Structure 1
Amino acid sequence: MASWAALSPSIVEYFEGEDSYRCGYCKNESGSRSNGMWAHSMTVQDYQDLIDRGWRRSGKYVYKPVMNQTCCPQYTIRCRPLQFQPSKSHKKVLKKMLKFLAKGEISKGNCEDEPMEPTMEDTVAGDFALINKLDIQCDLKTLSDDLKESFESEEKKKGKSPKKEEPKELIQSQHIEEKLGSGEPSHPLKVHTAPKPGKGADLSKPPCRKAKEIRKERKRLKLMQQNPAGELEGFQAQGEPPSLFPRKANKSNQPKSLEDLIFESLPENASHKLEVRVVRSSPPSSQFKATFQESYQVYKRYQMVIHKDPPDKPTVSQFTRFLCSSPLEAENPPHGPDCGYGSFHQQYWLDGRIIAVGVIDILPYCVSSVYLYYDPDYSFLSLGVYSALREIGFTRQLHQKTSQLSYYYMGFYIHSCPKMKYKLCFLWTQSQSRKTGANGQYRPSDLLCPETYVWVPIEQCLSSLENSKYCRFNQDPEAVDEGRSKEPDRLQVFHKKAIMPYGVYKKQQRDPSEEAAVLQYAGLVGQACSERMLLLRN
């Protein structure tokens, strides 16, 4: 990658010392501390290496929290999409979107938004720098009512009463339950009659189960009676009621993939049409320019309704600086993704109008989420969760052509901030581990160690974070930062339109304090970036 990335070197201007400002999380007036630099231009490889050392961009401002001093340490968090399995709550969000697209009706009463990350301002000439926000919403509504309505409507079509009749016999087979849970095809059902009063429990039956499980089995039995040939194509492997959008049974009996859930087929007479477009935001493509005003109006409404901004605050210039301007150079290597690398807006079009925009960076090894904003009128669709799932699916799609691109970066995780717990809820599949003491299901997420810059599975980090806000996750006490600056004289300096190693530059300078700032910069960006990027010195 160096052969094509080196054609346009990064040029950065480092701000000496550390910035102290009001924390957007705990509201400490001067507790948040970070180092920062202004990126006049930056290659995607350099930015990839920087975020793997704890840096993050907001517009063209690139900053790194001082982890052992800031009031709310911000740990870089990433998801592993290739191993990601959508949880039950994720599936509910995807099914809710499909139902809305198909039928145009959905209950909006029980939609609750998770708290979102607060905003913060940096200290660079009043530039409005907002750190990454992935507005994950948690939809607590189950689909039981929706499925019930769907089932009853089918009964009405057939001229039957939707009222349920209590069957006299219940299916009681532990083996069937295990097969349904594992997704394997079930064997013929064995039916037992209830024991006579006063004779005690029937030992041939398993222990009492929840009423929800019994209702599922009743529904399955009823469907089998209506389909004597065993044609239950729409029935889910885990014993769920028929799908709202029936499709052919999965021959391998494996759980549906994320892509299957997202792109579930819709009826020909669907009420709505959803289209997701990826447009380059920097440099702006013709599609981006054509939709700029519409996209800005969605952002303005989002800031005013969701974040309670006054009408005059979400200005065009602030929107441009924060979400449109980017230091990343557009790069289109032959073996890269079809859309290339750089900064993009992922636009969600519903019936010909924009309802949401995900701001993302496509880098050599990851898709990095920058921000999400959406039309508040559609918050009932849990667009935060939905867009994140689409971005994970998008990362998997890019991986098919560019194998090294295999991660999804979600910005920062702050364990000491209760509002950030939604990222754990999003990344972790639901598990009973706390109740049973088991290890739980696979958790495809990692946190970046702030001292050695290695990725550590998040479940190995939580116990340490419960005891201390700042933690070194790498358990090897002898491990060091392998990418640290070892030869600062090889750092590249851009001075008076000339490029030179720092070893040459420092001989021309008389200010001894400048060396401390340059060495601080070299330590923060690491040896590789210090040799590739040009440090602008006036």
Structure 2
Amino acid sequence: MAAALGTSPTIVEYFEGEDFYRCGYCKNETGSRSNGMWAHSMTVQDYQALIDRGWRRSGKYVYKPVMNQTCCPQYTIRCRPLHFQPSKSHKKVLKKMFKFLSKGEFSRGNNEEEPMDSQMDDAAVDDFVLKSKLDIQSDHRPLSEDYNEVVESEVKEKEENLETKETKELNQSHAKREKLGSGEPSRSVKVVPSAPKPGKGADLSKPPCRKAKDIRKERKRQKLILKSQTDKLEGSQIQHEPQSLPSEKPKLNQPKSVEDFIFDTLPEDAAHQLEFTRFLCSSPLEMRKLRLRVKRLVCLDEIWLQAENPPEGPDCGYGSFHQQYWLDGKIIAVGVIDVLPYCVSSVYLYYDPDYSFLSLGVYSALREIAFTRQLHEKTFQLSYYYMGFYIHSCPKMRYKGQYRPSDLLCPETYVWVPIEQCLSALESSKYCRFNQDTKAVDEERIKELDQLRVLYKRTVMPYNIYKKRQKGPSDEAIVQQYADLVGQTCSERMLLFRS
């Protein structure tokens, strides 16, 4: 067979749409349905093409939900790391990690459980737990610098406390005067203002105090005026500078990038040290070492994606990688990623539940986003971070949509649409076609089966030859379904195993 195959192509064994089975998200006993295939081998180019058509892998099994039939439609989601800025909740996780490493401080309370993308046997979850890549972190607030928010909140609190105290004292003074004026309606009492005793009442000789809201508005107005004057002054200075000496205007109040947080320098006397290692899943020695260290770590990825290291590719090459997180010499988490021609695809993360207070799911996702940006510097086309499936019908699975900007894959035309344009439609219907062009079709739809490649009796042949040699009932309907799901390009490049 090796001679017939030459190079190592993708070889898959397709299983037509299974019967309905129990949904791991809404727990419907007969609500979920998907198509699948077992990948005996897979190239990075073919897997990239498959995930861009809604496929997803679990180990060597590659599956695609039947979107218009399953109870919880699963839409492929990707983040655009080149424009990513950590949200307030992301910064909170990064700061928590830095505080723990530098000072050893942490809080185990109120740590929200991370959702699971796939189900596992309870017996297998003893020392380590298989969790999804990301935490549930809902944050709809606009991005801003934490420092400014803290300072403004402290000023606001002091202003409100001061105004509350002054208003209370003024109200007490008014109440006293009203009490003096109460009684029989025929009698009148003349209230003569007198100087208040020290520390008591309001000084009537001074203007009445203003509301805290008005004071804040005035201060904001003054800041805007000052900023406008400063900008004008800087603009006039820039105009008079020689063209050969461009001004270096300091970037004040610029939001910190995810790298600024992750790679912040720890103090020399840091309480803990976090080390990070990465190696190909196809390294037998490293796999054996890891299995010995993590005895109950289930289903570590076997050799699946064919490792490639072309000159124009990233320094680490393409393939499946294990990323290890070591805390003071102890392994606390292992993440699995696929480095593909156009993206880093997050598969899953194992972590020690004793360290769940560090929100390792969120932390690892942010590190992987930073890693994608790093790879992009060498390999320009590698510029996306795939996060698996987004499930809007399951509220606990909407967390991936908070890593923005991000896109969802249209399940009918396989084009990417910004998630903001999809949410209103998903609120109305579980299953949606995101492409608003009603005339648009799947550009990779199968045009003919004749050139589909088949592996039959250890020989590679086009489908039209296979049909002539096939014995027994025709399997054309199943082959047609497979071709429609993988698309024209993959059907002519991958080998469909037939027995």
TM-score category (smaller protein): 0.7 to 0.9
- Aligned pair in 2 of structure 1 residues 383, 327: CA closer, same or farther (>3 Å)? same
Residue 460 of structure 1: aligned partner: 421
Structure 1 residues 350-404: Cα deviation after superposition (integer angstroms, max 9, x where no partner): 1111111111111111111111121111111111111110010011111111111
> Which has the greater radius of gyration?
2
Post-superposition offset of 1:209:
4.5
- What's the RMSD between the two structures over aligned residues? 3.1
Please show how residues 101-120 of structure 1 align to structure 2 within 5 Å.
101-117=101-117, 119=119
- On the 8 A contact 1:137/1:383 being kept in 2, the answer is no
Post-superposition offset of 1:252:
2.6
- CA distance, structure 2, for counterparts of residue 64 and residue 115 of structure 1: 21
Structure 1 residues 388-428: Cα deviation after superposition (integer angstroms, max 9, x where no partner): 1001001111111111111111101111112202223x31x
Residue 292 of structure 2: aligned partner: 293
Q: What is the letter of the counterpart of residue 427 of structure 2?
A: E
Task: Name the SS of the counterpart of 1:28 in structure 2.
Answer: coil
Residue 369 of structure 2: aligned partner: 392
Structure 1 residues 137-185: Cα deviation after superposition (integer angstroms, max 9, x where no partner): 5499xxxxxx9xxx9xxxxxxxxxxxxxx89xx9xxxxxxxxxxxxxxx
- On the 8 A contact 2:136/2:396 being kept in 1, the answer is no
Residue 133 of structure 2: aligned partner: 134
Question: Is the counterpart of residue 343 in structure 1 residue 350 in structure 2?
Answer: no
- On the 8 A contact 2:138/2:399 being kept in 1, the answer is no
Residue 346 of structure 2: aligned partner: 369
Task: Name the SS of the counterpart of 2:294 in structure 1.
Answer: helix
Residue 264 of structure 1: aligned partner: 264
Q: 2:451 aligns with which of 472, 475, 490?
A: 490
- On the 8 A contact 2:12/2:495 being kept in 1, the answer is yes
Q: What is the letter of the counterpart of residue 308 of structure 2?
A: E
Please show how residues 408-419 of structure 1 align to structure 2 within 5 Å.
408-419=385-396
Q: 1:470 aligns with which of 431, 442, 467?
A: 431
Question: Is the counterpart of residue 507 in structure 1 residue 481 in structure 2?
Answer: no
- CA distance, structure 2, for counterparts of residue 468 and residue 139 of structure 1: 22
- CA distance, structure 2, for counterparts of residue 513 and residue 67 of structure 1: 27
Q: Percent of aligned pairs with the same residue?
A: 69
- CA distance, structure 2, for counterparts of residue 486 and residue 352 of structure 1: 56
- Aligned pair in 2 of structure 1 residues 24, 396: CA closer, same or farther (>3 Å)? same
Task: Name the SS of the counterpart of 2:18 in structure 1.
Answer: strand
Question: Is the counterpart of residue 252 in structure 1 residue 229 in structure 2?
Answer: no
- CA distance, structure 2, for counterparts of residue 120 and residue 105 of structure 1: 32
- CA distance, structure 2, for counterparts of residue 421 and residue 209 of structure 1: 36
- On the 8 A contact 1:133/1:411 being kept in 2, the answer is no
Residue 34 of structure 1: aligned partner: 34
Structure 1 residues 459-491: Cα deviation after superposition (integer angstroms, max 9, x where no partner): 111111111111100000000000111121100
- CA distance, structure 2, for counterparts of residue 131 and residue 69 of structure 1: 28
> Structure 1 regions of 5+ residues with no counterpart?
122-129, 141-146, 152-165, 171-194, 218-249, 300-318, 428-442
- CA distance, structure 1, for counterparts of residue 90 and residue 377 of structure 2: 23
TM-score where L is the length of structure 2: 0.75
Task: Name the SS of the counterpart of 1:482 in structure 2.
Answer: coil
- CA distance, structure 2, for counterparts of residue 131 and residue 272 of structure 1: 24
- On the 8 A contact 2:324/2:333 being kept in 1, the answer is yes
Residue 56 of structure 2: aligned partner: 56
How many positions carry a matched residue from both structures?
A: 402
Structure 1 residues 422-454: Cα deviation after superposition (integer angstroms, max 9, x where no partner): 223x31xxxxxxxxxxxxxxx410110000000
Structure 1 residues 245-286: Cα deviation after superposition (integer angstroms, max 9, x where no partner): xxxxx94323222111111111111111111111111x2343
> Structure 2 regions of 5+ residues with no counterpart?
122-128, 140-146, 152-157, 163-201, 224-248
Q: What is the letter of the counterpart of residue 105 of structure 1?
A: E
- Aligned pair in 2 of structure 1 residues 95, 327: CA closer, same or farther (>3 Å)? same
